[in-house]
Amino acid sequence: MFENILLGFATAFTPENLAYCFLGVFLGTFIGVLPGLGSLAAISMLLPLTFYLEPTTALIMLGGIYYGGEYGGSIASILLNLPGTPSAAVTCLDGNPMAKQGRAGVALFITAIASFIGGSVGIVALMGFGPSIARLGLGFSPADYFALMLLGLVAAVTVGGGSVIKGLIMVVLGLLFGTIGTDVTTGDFRYTFDFLELRDGVSLVGMAMGLFGVSEVISSIRGSKTRTITEKVTARSMIPTRADIRKTFGPIARGSSIGGFLGALPGAGTVIAAFMAYATEVRLAKDKTRFGNGAIEGVAAPESANNAAAQTAFIPTLTIGIPGSATMSIMLGALMIHGISPGPLLISDHPTVFWGLIASFWIGNVFLLVLNIPLIGLWVRVLQFPYKYIYPVVIALICIGVFSMRTSVFDVSLVVIFGALGYLFQKTGYSPAPLILGFVLGPMLEENLRRAMLMARGDPVRMVSDPLTGSLLAISALMLVWAVLGGIRNIVAVRSKAKSVPLGEG
């Protein structure tokens, strides 16, 4: 372990990797500050910039964009009550009331400290459990991998909240998009409709940029007015009192633990981690009325949780090749674009990539701490900039990035199509995140299923009879049944409530 850590820091401390780590953290924070975009859109937009870099450098930059975006989302939440990322929505509950009380500086300082500690806990968990999980994954058969990937998809739909039916529809749609291109086994073209550009499949970058970049820009245009921030943030106003520090010890520790655990689970991610951490503090508080009115614990707990979850989300992605969230799907796609196969052999075959990336997380966390406290004035000015001047630049960067990949106008057309689809999904309540998960995992799911069926000589009973495969498939089935029953109970409760309302009041 000590030798691996030294190898990681020797890789991360090269001038090129340090520069791109700093650039990733800065750009991630900048885009995360803008309400409505966040780390997922940032990675989607900036992914083409990494194609000309070494794999390790590219991943270090993308990692910096990811956790930089998670931190940046909290700034808009506190100052404007507009969450830059979904997980930062919890920070609005107490962060913005603190700002209205003239304590915006303290809230931002505690956010920076909680994010740093939570991220550090997540990195330690990644270092400790990553290699062990990878060794465990070496014993998996193709049937086990198929069942594990299926469990990841089901968990992402059932655990992540929202409508299970809508989530399943999006996953299936993603699986269908994943079948477009050349069949890995037979070499035949499938569903290309005689488009030569589709013989290599749908572009992951084009799809991600359209679904998350263009659609977010379209939906954010309505809120393009100049925003005013009345709270003045100075270096002096960011100094917390002793009582503030004392109150945040426990919430940061509990939030980091909750986030570190949930981040590694498929379908949980930073959003659920932040909400659970906040709910835990409310439950433990003696005076629950403080929450929602500027309780500093309500800022510290969710911020430490979402940053810990952001780091531990890399555990299943890197060690067994199964992303637990849409953002990790993009990271998984970036690995494959650079010719690196994620999974149990990643650590042994590419140790500089794995340990260099982990070491860069430590450096990036320090960069976040050093950058964001002095540069808070810059982020305040960014928030006041009219959005109508920002979105044309974002759209132009997206189109340039996609076109530069294969110099194909067809890929730019795909971005436009997926952008319109993404906006339609948002308006109808369909989250595009399960679609990306299904699209990335679909080809691997199909490949492992085919291998498993060949090894079982076409007998599905023989494949399912394996204890591990059968157990994973049974868990997937139980989760689906549990989610469907929960949906039915909600429908029955709504209907019974509607019947109990007198006709005159209805």
Residue in the block written with tokens 């780390």? 39
Taking residue 59's Cβ as centre, other Cβ atoms within 10 Å add up to 27
Query: Which H or E run contains 308?
Result: helix 297-312
**Does the residue 151 lie in any domain?**
yes
Taking residue 101's Cβ as centre, other Cβ atoms within 10 Å add up to 13
Residue 49 or 379, more confident: 49
Cα–chain center distance at 236 = 34
**Does the residue 505 lie in any domain?**
no
Tell me the per-residue pLDDT of 24-65, one tens digit each, with 9 for 90 and over. 888 888 877 776 566 777 787 777 778 778 888 888 888 888
**Does the residue 422 lie in any domain?**
yes
The string of DSSP letters for 224-281 reads -SPP---S---TGGGPPPHHHHHHHHHHHHHHHHHHHHHHTSTTTHHHHHHHHHHHHH
pLDDT band, residue 96 (cuts 50/70/90): confident
Query: Which H or E run contains 301?
Result: helix 297-312
| Cβ pair 25, 64 in contact under 8 A | yes
Range of the domain at 331: 2-499
Q: Given this model, what pLDDT does residue 506 score? A: 46
- State the sign of the Cα–Cα–Cα–Cα dihedral 243, 248, 251, 257: negative
Q: Given this model, what pLDDT does residue 109 score? A: 84
* Tally of structural domains, the chain: 1
Tell me the per-residue pLDDT of 342-356, one tens digit each, with 9 for 90 and over. 777 777 788 888 888
**Does the residue 131 lie in any domain?**
yes
Q: Given this model, what pLDDT does residue 279 score? A: 80
Mean pLDDT, rounded, for 430-459? 79
**Does the residue 504 lie in any domain?**
no
Mean pLDDT, rounded, for 371-376? 71
- pTM reported for the whole predicted model: 0.70
Look over the chain and give the mean of its residue pLDDT values, rounded to a whole number: 77
Q: Which region, left, alpha or beta, applies to residue 342 given φ > 0 means left and ψ of -120 to 50 means alpha?
A: beta
32: number of CA atoms within 13 Å, CB side? 29
pLDDT band, residue 158 (cuts 50/70/90): low
Distance between CA atoms of residues 48 and 388, nearest Å: 24
**Taking 60 as the threshold, does the pLDDT of residue 270 lie above it?**
yes
Q: Which region, left, alpha or beta, applies to residue 144 given φ > 0 means left and ψ of -120 to 50 means alpha?
A: alpha
Of 14-18, 252-256, 414-418, the poorest mean pLDDT is in 414-418
**Does the residue 506 lie in any domain?**
no
Of 59-68, 389-398, 419-428, the poorest mean pLDDT is in 389-398
**Does the residue 311 lie in any domain?**
yes
